[in-house]
Structure 1
Amino acid sequence: MADVDCIEKTSLTDAVRRLDQAVGQLETSIQRRMDADRSLNALQDDLQRLGEDRSQLAVTLDESEARASRLEEANKDVSRRLVSAMETIRSVLDAHGG
């Protein structure tokens, strides 16, 4: 009977050891999963910020393109006026023997 008690204690000790190992592996797996979830959340936050930055850059680009277009039109208008003024000055000079 003593042998049976010893075998049962060994079996119980082995079972407890295996259970401890399984719990340890489970805890490790849970920690890895939690780390992966945190990493995923961080990536999603980064992606959202990138989207917001992209939207802001698109708005800024549109504003810059509109301003450039207005400046180009103003430049053309100033050039036309300068040409007209030069022609007027040339006409006045020619009329007065200049």
Structure 2
Amino acid sequence: MSKLDSAMSRFASALDKLEAGVNRQLLRAQSAKGLQGEVDRLKEDRAELAEELDQLKSEARRLNELNERASETLADAIEGIREVLAEG
């Protein structure tokens, strides 16, 4: 094998390694881009869930207030019935 053939072989090997490295970098970049997209979707989901949670908390407070009012109304009605029964 001549010096030129040897040099061409080393050059071809170096090009193959360079091409493999570039391909790996491209795959990493595509993977990172895919992961960033996933992170963005998760952030959107989190924001939607936080908003839904806030709405549910507000609804729970409203229902709790209605429950308290209903309990007070029932307690007043029971007291009124007891008073009527006590008079009778």
The alignment's TM-score, normalised by the length of structure 2, stands at: 0.96
Within 5 A, what are the aligned runs for 1:53-92?
53-92=45-84
**Structure with max Cα Rg:** 1
Post-superposition offset of 1:95: 1.2
Unaligned runs of 5+ in 1: 1-8
Corresponding residue for 1:47?
A: 39
Once superposed, which parts of structure 1, at least 4 consecutive aligned residues long, lie more than 3 Å away? none
Q: Partners of 1:24 and 1:86 in 2: how far apart?
A: 90
Residue 3 of structure 2: aligned partner: 11
Q: Percent identical across equivalent pairs?
A: 36
Q: Tell me what 2:20 maps to.
A: 28
Tell me the TM-score normalised to structure 1 length.
0.87
Counterpart CA distance in 1 for 2:78 and 2:17 is 89
Segments of 5+ residues of structure 2 without an aligned counterpart are: none
CA RMSD of aligned residues (A): 0.9
Count of residues in Structure 1 that have an aligned counterpart in Structure 2: 88
Determine the C-alpha separation between the residues in 1 that align with 2:86 and 2:9: 113
2-side partners of 1:17 and 1:86: how far apart? 100
